[in-house]
Amino acid sequence: MTPWPAPHVTAPVRGTVAVPGSKSVTNRALLLAALSGGPASVAGAPPTRDTALMVDALRALGVPVEVDGERVVIGPHEGLRGGGTVDCGLAGTVMRFVPPAAALADGPVGFDGDPRARERPMGTVLGALRALGASVTGDALPFTLHGTGGLPGGDVVIDASASSQFVSGLLLSGAHYDKGVTVHHDGEPVPSLPHIAMTVDMLRAAGVEIDDAEPNTWRVLPGPIAARDWVVEPDLSNASVFLAAAAVTGGRVTVAGWPEHSTQPGVAILSVLDQFGCSVQPGPDGMTVTGPDALTGVDVDLHDVGELTPTIAAVAALARTPSRLRGIAHLRGHETDRLAALATEITELGGDVTETPDGLEIRPRSLRGRPDRPWGAYADHRMATAGALIGLVVHGVEIDDVGCTSKTIPDFPGRWAALLAGRAG
């Protein structure tokens, strides 16, 4: 494919941008709507690949789904059907959330995905489903889940240190298991705990009884999942790269519709940008970040907000003092090995990056574009947007696959160009 020339600016970026809805909230809401039996709806669902993959997964399970722009309607139905195949693409929320639901189907359900998805860890959730009474053929994509119309459920012990999605996936469907489900985590700390908090809050909003008072243990009681209409707030992790545009150019960017309270991990970008030296100010128009004259490096533990790492690493590469990003060894198992990818790509631009056992150390260097070698996206949406962020300041950066941003941001190149032109919306 033809590399995309990342726009380069010579003046501070100023503007207001509206970002699409949260893909994390959307795919949880879609699954809960399907498990409720309908009718239910999800408003503000972003028209992204991850959303489309979840919609198609539900259809493969016999759920009637209609999509009208950013509104998705789940029709009434009598339960999940087997006999279909689910394409997970590269969506972690599909490959980890849908199998526990498919265990309730009345027949076999096949699962497969993109080549990289076949390398992502799945043994934990599949082993958990076996322990809860499911029959599964395979330990990674592709695999087949042999549904029998229900699942005994009960207690299960897992090691969720590789992904919080292992916990969330079991919780989302657990109310429909005969005994509910109690998930005990035994291992290194679970990454991205705010995502589990999001799952718990949404289950409670759907009338599910859940107890998370005990550390590393989550209990979902058996019972109904209420049909309701969900409204999705803006994706704050996607918003981070737009706010960071202000940080790296000394500009001023407002993200419209920033929620007053949110369980999204992306909200943590505000405190990190503050540490870089930015001014962070909520207001009636949204959340505004103003960049400093020069960025100061940071030392931050990103264990709970690992998805922000590519954006933060890009900002750190443009700071005047060193940065240390910690607590993110689990990123080696994401869409790509994000630590190795970031170290490689920043180094190729002349940067000075060292991989540590649990993160990255980034030291200031003068960066330059490589006309002979585009920035590698690794089919990873956040790697692509990190390259675009660096390209604002470093002339001549090209991205080898900006199209992969469609995973979570519809028309990222157009939205990026609109912000830089001062007409984002």
Provide the CATH number for the domain around residue 99. Answer: 3.65.10.10
Q: Tell me what pLDDT residue 1 has.
A: 75
CA distance 409 to 25: 14
- Expressed as residue numbers, the domain containing 103 is 23-139+150-221
What is the rounded average pLDDT of the residues 109-122? 94
Task: Using pLDDT thresholds of 50, 70 and 90, give the confidence band for residue 424.
Answer: low
Q: Specify whether 186 is located in the same domain as 70.
A: yes
Q: Tell me what pLDDT residue 425 has.
A: 52
Q: Specify whether 311 is located in the same domain as 365.
A: yes
- Residue 357 in any domain: the answer is yes
- 237: which residues sit within 8 A by CB, 6+ positions away? 22, 24, 264, 265, 266, 269, 307, 308, 408
- 56: which residues sit within 8 A by CB, 6+ positions away? 86, 87
What is the rounded average pLDDT of the residues 379-386? 96
- DSSP for 99-148 reads HHHHTTSSSEEEEE--TGGGGS--HHHHHHHHHTT-EEE-SSSSEEEE--
CA distance 172 to 180: 11
- Residue 320 in any domain: the answer is yes
Q: Specify whether 246 is located in the same domain as 390.
A: yes
Q: Specify whether 376 is located in the same domain as 290.
A: yes
pLDDT of 336-359, one tens digit each? 899 999 999 999 999 999 999 999
Which residues belong to the annotated binding site for phosphoenolpyruvate?
23, 92, 120, 165, 338, 382, 407
Q: Let me know: does 312 contact 331? Beta carbons within 8 Å.
A: no
Domain end marker among 221, 256, 272: 221
Q: Specify whether 16 is located in the same domain as 28.
A: no
- Residue 397 in any domain: the answer is yes
Which residues belong to the annotated binding site?
23-24, 28, 92, 120, 163-165, 192, 307, 334, 338, 382, 407
Closest among 45, 184, 173 to 124, alpha carbons compared: 184
- Residue 336 in any domain: the answer is yes
Q: Specify whether 205 is located in the same domain as 289.
A: no
Task: Enter the pTM of the model.
Answer: 0.89
Q: Specify whether 331 is located in the same domain as 365.
A: yes
Q: Tell me what pLDDT residue 25 has.
A: 97
Domain end marker among 186, 221, 256: 221
Q: Tell me what pLDDT residue 334 has.
A: 75
Task: Using pLDDT thresholds of 50, 70 and 90, give the confidence band for residue 168.
Answer: very high
What is the rounded average pLDDT of the residues 186-191? 95
CA distance 219 to 231: 26
Q: Specify whether 14 is located in the same domain as 109.
A: no
Q: Dihedral angle at the C-alpha atoms of 90, 96, 101, 106, nearest 10 degrees?
A: 70
- Residue 229 in any domain: the answer is no
Q: Specify whether 210 is located in the same domain as 103.
A: yes
Q: Specify whether 308 is located in the same domain as 321.
A: yes
- Residue 256 in any domain: the answer is yes
Residue 360 predicted with pLDDT over 70: yes
- Residue 144 in any domain: the answer is no
Catalytic residue among 70, 209, 307, 355: 307
Reduce the DSSP state of residue 420 to 3 states and report it.
Answer: helix
- Residue 227 in any domain: the answer is no
Is 307 labeled as catalytic in the residue annotation? yes
Q: What is the domain count for the chain? A: 2
Q: Specify whether 203 is located in the same domain as 258.
A: no
- 2: which residues sit within 8 A by CB, 6+ positions away? none
pLDDT of 65-94, one tens digit each? 999 999 999 999 999 999 999 999 999 999
- Mean per-residue pLDDT of the chain: 96
What is the rounded average pLDDT of the residues 377-402? 97
Q: Specify whether 203 is located in the same domain as 244.
A: no
Domain end marker among 161, 190, 221: 221
Give me the amino acid identity at 43: A
